[in-house]
Amino acid sequence: MPELYEIRATYDRETITVYQAYNAAIADAALAAQTFVAPFSFHRMTWIKPSFLWLMERSNWGQKSGQKHILAIRIKRTCWDEALALGVLTHPEPTLWLNPDDWRIAFASAPVHIQWDPERSLRGAALPYFSIQVGLSRHIIQRYTDEWIVSIEDKTPLVRKLHKLIQTGRADAAKKLLPMERIYPIKMVIGNPLSRH
């Protein structure tokens, strides 16, 4: 059984892969530019998720309106680590914040928000351990698009293939095609223990 809170991701020495789901206009422009450009919004928070299956549940395997194109974004691990260090949890964890007002102040001004949600199975069931998602505020999004991104790949064809396999009772075949994710080594930062909810 995995630990309750740990980051599982596809990564190599230099990069980590995160996933986002968009409409065709945003996805096509991003793939062409190999970063996010208009009509992508730079004025609201964007959430990046290293768990492929978590995004599959959220986007209903790319079936939801506005989320039919699944992108795999490779970003620099140094930038991912920086984002985690800048993050404030979306809930006032009592062991970290004795005074909820202190958390509210920190959360309101944080450039990065960190949220833990139940990880998902191949069929979308909630699992008894958590997956991380990281929200980048408008104060840091420009750096995400200009400095962090190494490449963007369209995973939509793979998602459609996997969805069809699952629908036709071939879950075992689908599992073999999933991105390989492993535990990501967290660099602990004082005041921001990411292993806590």
Q: How far apart are alpha carbons 145 and 34 in whole angstroms?
A: 9
Assigned domain for 197 exists: no
Give domain status of residue 70, yes or no: yes
Residue 192 lies inside a defined structural domain of this protein: no
The answer to the question of residue 194 being in a domain is no
What percent of the chain shows pLDDT beyond 90? 83
The model's pLDDT over 163-191, given as tens digits with 9 standing for 90+, comes to 999 999 999 999 999 999 999 997 644 34
pTM of the model as a whole? 0.92
- Residues β-bridged to residue 49: 19
* Model confidence pLDDT, tens digit, residues 44-70: 999 999 999 999 999 999 999 999 999
Q: Does residue 193 form part of some domain?
A: no
Range of the domain at 76: 8-183
**Does residue 55 form part of some domain?**
yes
For the chain, strand residue ranges (E) read 8-9, 15-22, 46-48, 69-76, 87-89, 112-120, 126-136, 149-154, 182-183
Backbone phi, psi, residue 83, to 5°: -60, -45
Tell me the C-alpha distance between 134 and 162, whole Å.
25
Residue 1 located in a structural domain: no
Domain count, the chain: 1
**Confidence (pLDDT) at 194:** 53
Q: Is residue 196 part of a domain?
A: no
What pLDDT is attached to residue 138? 94
